[in-house]
Structure 1
Amino acid sequence: MLVVLHLKEPTPHSLGFRMPAEWAEHAATWISWPSDNELWFGHLEAVRKEFTELVKTIARFEPVHVLVRDDEAHQDATTRLAGVGGLTFHKIPLDDVWFRDNGPIFIKRGEDLSFVNWIFNSWGEKFNWQKDNEAPEAVAEYLDIAHWDVDVVMEGGSLEVNGLGLCMTTKQCLLEPKRNPNLTPEQLEGYLKEYLGITKVLWLEDGLENDHTDGHIDTIIRFTNENTVVCSIDTNVEDPNHATMQRNLDLLRTFTDQDGNPLNIIELPLPKNRLELEGDRLPPTYANFYIGNGFVVVPTYGDPNDERAIDILKPLFPDREVIGLSSRAIINGGGSFHCVTQQQPKGVIWKG
């Protein structure tokens, strides 16, 4: 099949750049501060309390860049985080907080650090996105970094990589027609290869019920090392998520890594209790953890499966402190810790 791509030569792949794994050493974490009470269905105060604990925890291990959209957000964030070291605040207009999806995706070549700025359209134009789509350029200006701007919709939460060229994603998300309606799976794979150095894509099927991102992989299946993945499961056969997660698990068992080796698969339960907001189901998950320098922060929900999930994850990260933090308020927005963070790998800023 002829795959036609509109590339900006030279591409990162042609220059030897690749997206590193999340567990590679970080220079910093980037995160946006929550601001809109209406957007959080009246739960902004509780959300900000959870963000405060998240930022404080990350800052124990690595620097944190906090994006604030206005004076009120800046005042609130600096007050709540007073005395926390390693923070840098940036006043940047924002629509929302999901920086995993609207932020830059960093790439490396040896010690050289660059990034790719994809188009963000709020998961198929579901919410406002125009300001969020401009945020990566503000990051580029601050870092004074040469980078690529690509006219393809792509969200960080839709991609899970092992740093060796292997990538997992879902058909439900990447093939959703309001993202890139004119691109085939082969063309999308071509863009991932040329701009992120992906050499093999594993296509899963669907994500969690009522996930407004249309099945982001980072809510269901994650790498914990180059060959090991955790896969969310639901043991309640009457729950719609049961069949979906089982189908993904069955597919994973047929997949191999970039070298043709079977994947080491660990089952990770979903929260036991069903959570709803104004009658709509929420998509809580333990797979939305964030890996940083010496730590892994795992969302918890006051659920019977919280402790079990953390006990499963701890031995998978023997050199990191696995920390459970409440995300019961944040999940009202549809995501959790991985969704609101973006890692900046350690490296030397590339000037092009």
Structure 2
Amino acid sequence: MALTPAQQGFFFPAEWHPHAATWLSWPHTEASWSKERQELMFPAYLEFIRTIAEGEEVCINAHNEYIIQGAKMRLLMAGVDLANIKLLAHPVNDSWCRDHGPAFLINPDLGQRLIVNWGYNAWGAKYPPYDRDDLIPIEIAHYRKLPYVNAGIVMEGGSVEFNGNGTVLTSKACLLNENRNPHLSQEQIEQYLCDYYGVKQVLWVEEGIVGDDTDGHIDDTVRWVNEDTVVAACEPDPKDPNYRFLHDIHVDLKEMRLLNGKQLNVVELPMPDPVIIDGQRLPASYANFYICNAAVIVPTFRCDKDQEAIDILERCFPDRKVVGIDSTEIIWGLGSFHCLSQQEPTLDTTAGNVSTGGI
């Protein structure tokens, strides 16, 4: 029987580990944004790309050559330097690369990288078709000339959060949902996480936030900022429907212990004011930030709490600038900057791979 990635010494590094690139999938259909909504969201999306490109390559899956040409025009008009941009003719169904993109693993001792090709079913077959998205990890493995392994179960990048030191955080509402892998028990899913992500410990919270159509992705509620510290979304208003979910998560986090027996440091991150468009409560959360080489990019929502969230994350990441970008139009598609992106780590373990922040 073939050795698992973990048995071969591969692991999924923390997001603050140095990146070779960030991967995106260019919006081109009305799957997440109508044509009118696309025009409203593109300014923030282009600013997101420009900020990432200041410190690393941005590789963009684009559905076809026609989409590539349109993307180049938009990028140039927005003042984005194309020197760090790679537009690739990889057909996609939707734009949420965190979930359909590849999971890059590294083995610094061997000087090797590996892609895990998890199955993808558009969050429980909610949004067909998703056949093209499901093939993206293999497309990228071929492009990068990297080996890949098929895990054989459904797994989304937004459902897991890594500290880079053997621990992954996830939610029962998502990973144990019968619309993902109904044939697997919690213990069996934990084994897959250990085998294919190279972790040794799985920590579980229960739920996600209101409006999240992914059934509770962790990247809207709890994020690592260093190996033993998380920021956790909090809602002080008992009348808000997120209050109970987030309160219970905080209780769970306080009871958790790391592999070394240490208690988690938990930093409270406010929730923005409710974002409601066309009568729908959207899953707006400051926790959906993205850590790239050049910055920590934080979604903002045109409310007074924006600056408070940025200030907290600046204290958590003293080694990076923290940039707020208005995500009010992007969140209409039910995701934000972390959902849109997937990092490709380098093999470098000598600099920048440990976040020293915290409060």
Q: How does the TM-score come out when normalised to structure 1?
A: 0.94
| 2:316 aligned partner | 316
Tell me the amino acid that sits aligned with residue 59 of structure 1. Answer: A
Tell me the amino acid that sits aligned with residue 60 of structure 2. Answer: V
Instruction: For 2:202 and 2:139, locate their aligned partners in 1 and report how far apart those are by CA, in whole Å.
Output: 30
| 2:354 aligned partner | none
SS at match of 1:116: strand
Instruction: For 1:102 and 1:191, locate their aligned partners in 2 and report how far apart those are by CA, in whole Å.
Output: 18
Contact 1:12 1:196 in 2 (8 A): yes
Tell me the amino acid that sits aligned with residue 250 of structure 1. Answer: V
**1:1-352 matches, cutoff 5 A:** 9-37=2-30, 39-41=32-34, 42-82=36-76, 83-110=81-108, 111-128=111-128, 129-272=130-273, 274-347=274-347
Instruction: For 1:38 and 1:119, locate their aligned partners in 2 and report how far apart those are by CA, in whole Å.
Output: 20
Instruction: For 2:188 and 2:229, locate their aligned partners in 1 and report how far apart those are by CA, in whole Å.
Output: 27
Instruction: For 1:341 and 1:44, locate their aligned partners in 2 and report how far apart those are by CA, in whole Å.
Output: 17
Contact 1:66 1:87 in 2 (8 A): yes
Q: Deviations over 1:35-57 (max 9, x none)?
A: 12463133011122211110011
Instruction: For 2:40 and 2:89, locate their aligned partners in 1 and report how far apart those are by CA, in whole Å.
Output: 22
SS at match of 2:93: coil
Tell me the amino acid that sits aligned with residue 144 of structure 1. Answer: K
Instruction: For 1:108 and 1:37, locate their aligned partners in 2 and report how far apart those are by CA, in whole Å.
Output: 35
SS at match of 1:245: helix
Q: Deviations over 1:180-220 (max 9, x none)?
A: 00100000000111111111111101000121000000011
Instruction: For 2:208 and 2:127, locate their aligned partners in 1 and report how far apart those are by CA, in whole Å.
Output: 20
| 1:5 aligned partner | none
Q: Deviations over 1:83-114 (max 9, x none)?
A: 43211110111110100000111111113211
Contact 1:117 1:148 in 2 (8 A): yes
SS at match of 1:307: helix
SS at match of 1:14: coil
Contact 1:169 1:203 in 2 (8 A): yes
SS at match of 1:75: helix
Tell me the amino acid that sits aligned with residue 54 of structure 2. Answer: R
SS at match of 2:268: strand
Instruction: For 1:144 and 1:336, locate their aligned partners in 2 and report how far apart those are by CA, in whole Å.
Output: 29
| 1:3 aligned partner | none
Instruction: For 1:215 and 1:181, locate their aligned partners in 2 and report how far apart those are by CA, in whole Å.
Output: 17
SS at match of 2:239: coil
Tell me the amino acid that sits aligned with residue 17 of structure 1. Answer: F
Q: Deviations over 1:46-77 (max 9, x none)?
A: 12221111001100111110111134421221
Q: Which blocks of at least 5 consecutive residues in structure 1 are unaligned? A: 1-7
Instruction: For 2:65 and 2:29, locate their aligned partners in 1 and report how far apart those are by CA, in whole Å.
Output: 13
> Over the residues paired in the alignment, what is the CA RMSD in angstroms?
1.2
Larger CA deviation: 44-53 vs 198-207:
44-53
Q: How does the TM-score come out when normalised to structure 2?
A: 0.92
Instruction: For 1:231 and 1:64, locate their aligned partners in 2 and report how far apart those are by CA, in whole Å.
Output: 28
Aligned length: 340
Instruction: For 2:333 and 2:2, locate their aligned partners in 1 and report how far apart those are by CA, in whole Å.
Output: 38
SS at match of 2:242: helix
SS at match of 2:86: strand
SS at match of 2:15: coil
Contact 1:69 1:91 in 2 (8 A): yes
Q: What is the CA distance between 1:81 and its match in structure 2? A: 1.6
Contact 2:98 2:156 in 1 (8 A): yes
SS at match of 1:223: strand
Larger CA deviation: 101-110 vs 69-78:
69-78
Contact 1:56 1:84 in 2 (8 A): no
Contact 1:219 1:286 in 2 (8 A): yes
Instruction: For 1:37 and 1:121, locate their aligned partners in 2 and report how far apart those are by CA, in whole Å.
Output: 18
Q: Which runs of 4+ in 1 moved over 3 A?
A: none
Instruction: For 1:38 and 1:294, locate their aligned partners in 2 and report how far apart those are by CA, in whole Å.
Output: 30
Tell me the amino acid that sits aligned with residue 85 of structure 2. Answer: L
Contact 1:16 1:109 in 2 (8 A): yes
Q: Deviations over 1:117-147 (max 9, x none)?
A: 1000000000021110011111011001111
Distance of aligned partners of 1:76 and 1:263 in 2 relative to their CA distance in 1, 3 Å threshold: same
Contact 2:51 2:294 in 1 (8 A): no
